[in-house]
Amino acid sequence: MSSDEEAASERADSYVLGLLDASDSAKLEAEMETNSALRAAVAKSRDRFLELDLIGSEQPVSPGLWSRIDTSLGKADVASSGDQPRLEPGNDNRLGRWQKTAYAAIAASLVFATALTYTLVGTSRPQVIAILMDEKGVPLVLVEDFGNTSARITPLADFSAPADRSMQVWTLPNKDIGPTSLGLLDGWRTVTLDSRSLPTPHEEQLYEITLEQPGGSPTGRPTGPILVKGFGKVPR
């Protein structure tokens, strides 16, 4: 698959899963009118995710849902800090942030459920799938490990790392081999990491992404803070 085809496929997946905002969705729909390759990519994505559409009908969200979530989270923050809540008129950033977090969790669940039954990329079938979460339990990354040839890393939500640091992907095949690098991430985008030779991945295999010095860990082992981690599941 060429880089242009891969980019179109990624955009199509995001569109079909509903991960784009209204503006980006409108732009993509307008582009599809003149871009046959993008139309084909969207059609393929819809075929792959058809099972999700058949699970059940779309249900409207209660108008007060996000307010109740935000209120509950605010109470939890106060209880843990001992401080009184502060209201900042005109500032709704917190509600928006939690909405984005919830959407990311929903998207991760949908992708994970689909991946357990159908392949997400081409005709290849991942041997192990892992959802990597941060310390707060927010799903940020989907890992599809295809064995000793490649692993596909797909972001599930926006994330930024310092420009002077590198994000490095690791796995732990077994204690004898120890933590092994799968490669560096060149930005926060979907990427396939190739050229490695490891045992066949297995259930509950650890995957994580750490923040390392530029160019990666100098020791060949994780040295920086863990950004996200998760354990592999074998597709059924």
Q: Which residue has the higher pLDDT, 90 or 232?
A: 232
**Which of 43-52, 117-126, 201-210 ranks highest by mean pLDDT?**
201-210
Average pLDDT over residues 61-75: 58
Mean pLDDT confidence for 41-61? 59
| Confidence category of residue 188, pLDDT binned at 50, 70, 90 | confident
Neighbours of 153 (CB within 10 A): 23
Arithmetic mean of pLDDT, 23-44: 87
Residue with the bigger pLDDT between 220 and 16: it is 220
Query: Mean pLDDT: which of 21-25, 54-58, 72-76 is highest?
Result: 21-25
pLDDT at residue 163 is higher than 90: no
Residue 98 DSSP code: H
Task: For residue 153, name the pLDDT band (cuts at 50, 70, 90).
Answer: very high
- Determine the Cα–Cα distance for residues 75 and 80; give it in Å rounded to an integer: 9
Say which residue, 25 or 221, is predicted with more confidence: 221
Q: Are 166 and 208 in contact (CB under 8 A)?
A: no
pLDDT at 85 over 80: no
The predicted pLDDT at position 12 comes to 86
122 residue type, one letter: G
pLDDT value for 68 = 60
d(CA 70, CA 75): 9
Residue 75 is predicted with a pLDDT of: 53
Contact (Cβ atoms closer than 8 angstroms) between residue 70 and residue 96: no
Domains of the chain: 3-58 (no CATH), 121-231 (2.60.40)
pLDDT value of position 122: 46
pLDDT of residue 184: 92
